[in-house]
């Protein structure tokens, strides 16, 4: 299993070909991952600017920095960009694209050209949506609720919907590629239960991508038809039902939450194992928890609609099923914690992110249970409590996992180490800034502050100021990795093939990996995370 590491003179995937053309026409999964990293970093900054403007507006109780109409466009831009152009593609298209073939011992994904095509679809959809946002914006919120989006809004709903429709197909084709790769391209001996948990969680993510995204696509298409022809699929004048739109929308958009957080869970499994030098406790349970989350995620969408006129019986069923999805999520949290127990824990930057993830995800998950409870949900629907809850999952969870993974695999991607002290400082800055931003929002929501308003009663100003201050710190925390990871790309010290002394096939090829990953297809004889065996080997020399 341990392949001899070749001398660094052999060209790697970065040096094998030169020129802009070799990047734009590449079918190498590693280069495509980098194309995605560039694209989603751009979108992340754009969405971040929108968020910062919103937070600045909320410093004062009145709508003074921007008009309420502009504020509506800002939160729509923030939501649309962050959901479809950053969070959904974040880990799968970057770390997933880079690592899945390496982790399964393959030379590429199953359909390399389709992979590149997905990136072009992503960019096309991105440009169209950006055009919609730049040429006047959209004021419907990222949820596009009817009939506002189809009849009353005078903004660029159609253009934005078409952009998201196209990006949806990018997501579908990426998922299709991953499922096929994981099924068909595993190296000899790499059975399902020897796979790293990152693969399991990306597999579950891909299933959700492939089965849920088309429903969003068709729903957006119905919106476009209704808006263009003014025919009333969801609008009541022909007998259409606006609530049907919400059903179809959340049938995608709730599972989409798991598209965002499942890959992060995969990253955390890798990090916790590598930095406590133990196999993940209850590997099989963690693996099947990913599948269970993917399956149950399709059955909980109604909890977004408890106040939309669901019958009391279906509300009870959705409430129960929403509690149920907490079980596999909790299994993961318990098992990561148990992995730390008696492990040789080291506090490198990726581990800080992993531990941050576990804590913040737990808070996000527990408050999710509040929201699954019918009585409490009615009280806090559409308040900052909901905002705080899902930002704990998506920013505290998904983004922390993404950054942890980016730091962990950056030496593999770039071949160079980042400055550790600075990275630790920025991880702590992000953790602090995040909590300062979003914890006050739980309180605000509980007090009744509704989401999507540019103004509020003056007695809430103090909490809003804390939140804006936190957002500023968070913004600085996000800028730091951008600076030092870029710096490390050129000037960081050489990382060597396995700086973390981690198990996993990706660490047995040089950093950066050669163009075709493996000189010889590896044969796998051991389970993932065999740190005990690694120690034994080192002892025996």
| Cβ–Cβ under 8 Å, residues 84 and 164 | yes
Does 231 sit near another protein (CB under 8 A)?
A: yes
Closer Cβ to another protein, 223 or 372, answer by number: 223
Q: Which of 68, 137, 214, 496 binds another protein (CB under 8 A)?
A: 214
Q: Which of 94, 115, 205, 213 binds another protein (CB under 8 A)?
A: 213
Q: Which of 53, 212, 386, 413 binds another protein (CB under 8 A)?
A: 212
**Rule CB under 8 A: which of 428-467 touch another protein?**
none
Give the separation between CA 480 and CA 483, rounded to whole angstroms.
Answer: 5
User: Smallest distance from the beta carbon of 105 to another protein, in angstroms?
Assistant: 10
Q: Pattern of binders to another protein over 513-532, x per CB under 8 A?
A: ---x----x-----------
| Cβ–Cβ under 8 Å, residues 298 and 211 | yes
Q: How many residues does the chain have?
A: 541
Q: Which of 61, 112, 343, 496 binds another protein (CB under 8 A)?
A: 112
Q: Considering only the stretches 172-180, 308-316, 385-393, 418-426, report the one whose residues sit in contact with another protein under the rule CB under 8 A.
A: 172-180
| Cβ–Cβ under 8 Å, residues 411 and 422 | no
Distance between start and end Cα atoms, the chain: 16
Q: What is the DSSP letter of 497?
A: S
Does 151 sit near another protein (CB under 8 A)?
A: no
Q: Pattern of binders to another protein over 173-202, x per CB under 8 A?
A: ---xx-xx--xxx-----------------
Q: Which of 20, 21, 239, 539 binds another protein (CB under 8 A)?
A: 239
Q: Considering only the stretches 75-83, 223-231, 271-279, 385-393, report the one whose residues sit in contact with another protein under the rule CB under 8 A.
A: 223-231
| Cβ–Cβ under 8 Å, residues 118 and 27 | no
User: Smallest distance from the beta carbon of 150 to another protein, in angstroms?
Assistant: 12
Q: Which of 3, 17, 241, 479 binds another protein (CB under 8 A)?
A: 241
Does 161 sit near another protein (CB under 8 A)?
A: no
**Helix, strand, coil % (nearest 5) of the chain?**
70, 0, 25
User: Smallest distance from the beta carbon of 172 to another protein, in angstroms?
Assistant: 5
Q: Considering only the stretches 60-68, 143-151, 210-218, 499-507, report the one whose residues sit in contact with another protein under the rule CB under 8 A.
A: 210-218
User: Smallest distance from the beta carbon of 386 to another protein, in angstroms?
Assistant: 25
Own/partner pairs for 308-317, CB < 8 Å, 24+ apart? Answer: 308/243, 308/246, 309/243, 315/374, 316/374
Could you tell me the two tokens for 42?
């751009």
User: 156 — phi, psi (to 5°)?
Assistant: -85, 60
Does 233 sit near another protein (CB under 8 A)?
A: yes
> Is residue 413 left, alpha or beta, with left meaning phi > 0 and alpha meaning psi from -120 to 50?
alpha
Question: Residue 426's beta-bridge partner residues?
Answer: none
Indicate the helix (H) or strand (E) that contains 461: helix 461-491
User: Smallest distance from the beta carbon of 121 to another protein, in angstroms?
Assistant: 14
Does 111 sit near another protein (CB under 8 A)?
A: yes
Closer Cβ to another protein, 451 or 516, answer by number: 516
Give the separation between CA 55 and CA 49, rounded to whole angstroms.
Answer: 10
Give the separation between CA 490 and CA 487, rounded to whole angstroms.
Answer: 6
Give the separation between CA 235 and CA 418, rounded to whole angstroms.
Answer: 54
Burial (CB count <10 Å: 0-12, 13-18, 19+), residue 346: exposed
- Residue whose tokens read 């890798």: 270
User: Smallest distance from the beta carbon of 306 to another protein, in angstroms?
Assistant: 19
Rule CB under 8 A: which residues touch another protein? 101, 106-108, 110-112, 114, 172, 176-177, 179-180, 183-185, 210-215, 217-219, 221-222, 225, 228-233, 237-241, 244, 248, 251, 516, 521
């Amino acid at each position: 299993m341990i392949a001899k590491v070749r001398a660094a003179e052999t060209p790697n995937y970065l040096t094998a070909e030169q020129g802009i053309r070799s990047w734009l026409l590449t079918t190498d999964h590693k280069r495509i991952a980098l194309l995605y990293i560039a694209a989603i970093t751009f979108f992340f900054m754009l969405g971040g600017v929108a968020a910062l403007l919103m937070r600045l507006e909320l410093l004062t109780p009145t709508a003074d920095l921007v008009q309420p109409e502009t504020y509506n466009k800002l939160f729509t831009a923030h939501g649309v960009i962050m959901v479809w152009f950053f969070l959904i593609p974040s880990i799968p298209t970057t770390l997933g694209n880079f690592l899945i073939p390496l982790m399964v011992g393959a030379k590429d994904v199953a359909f390399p050209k389709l992979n590149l095509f997905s990136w072009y679809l992503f960019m096309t959809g991105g440009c169209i949506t950006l055009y919609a946002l730049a040429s006047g914006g959209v004021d419907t919120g990222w949820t596009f609720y009817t009939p506002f989006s189809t009849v009353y809004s005078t903004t660029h709903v159609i253009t934005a919907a078409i952009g998201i429709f196209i990006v949806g197909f990018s997501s579908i084709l990426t998922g299709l590629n991953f499922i096929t790769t994981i099924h068909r391209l595993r190296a000899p001996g790499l059975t399902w239960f020897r796979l790293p948990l990152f693969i399991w969680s990306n597999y579950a993510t891909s299933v959700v991508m492939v089965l849920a995204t088309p429903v969003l696509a068709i729903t957006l298409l119905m919106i476009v038809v209704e808006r263009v022809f003014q025919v009333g699929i969801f609008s009541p004048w022909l007998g259409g039902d606006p609530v049907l739109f919400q059903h179809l929308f959340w049938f995608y958009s709730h599972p989409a939450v798991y598209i965002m957080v499942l890959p992060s869970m995969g990253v955390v499994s890798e990090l916790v194992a590598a930095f406590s030098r133990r196999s993940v406790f209850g590997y099989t349970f963690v693996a099947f928890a990913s599948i269970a989350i993917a399956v149950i995620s399709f059955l909980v969408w109604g909890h977004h609609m408890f106040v939309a006129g669901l019958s009391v019986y279906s509300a009870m069923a959705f409430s129960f099923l929403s509690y149920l999805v907490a079980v596999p999520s909790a299994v993961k949290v318990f098992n990561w914690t148990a992995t730390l127990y008696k492990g040789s824990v080291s506090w490198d930057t990726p581990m800080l992110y992993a531990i941050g993830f576990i804590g913040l995800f737990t808070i996000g998950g527990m408050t999710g249970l509040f929201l699954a409870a019918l009585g409490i949900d009615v009280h806090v629907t559409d308040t900052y409590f909901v905002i705080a809850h899902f930002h704990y999952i998506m920013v505290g969870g998904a983004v922390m996992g993404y950054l942890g993974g980016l730091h962990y695999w950056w030496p593999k991607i770039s071949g160079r180490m980042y400055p550790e002290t600075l990275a630790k400082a920025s991880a702590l800055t992000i953790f602090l800034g995040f909590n300062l931003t979003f914890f006050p929002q739980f309180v605000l929501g509980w007090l009744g502050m509704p989401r999507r308003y540019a103004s509020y009663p003056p007695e809430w100003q103090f909490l809003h100021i804390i939140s804006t201050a936190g957002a500023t710190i968070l913004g600085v925390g996000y800028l730091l990795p951008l600076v030092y990871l870029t710096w490390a790309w050129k000037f960081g010290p050489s990382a060597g093939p396995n700086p973390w002394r981690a198990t996993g096939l990706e660490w047995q090829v040089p950093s950066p990996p050669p163009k075709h990953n493996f000189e010889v297809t590896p044969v796998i004889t051991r389970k993932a995370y065999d740190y005990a065996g690694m120690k034994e080997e080192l002892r025996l020399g």
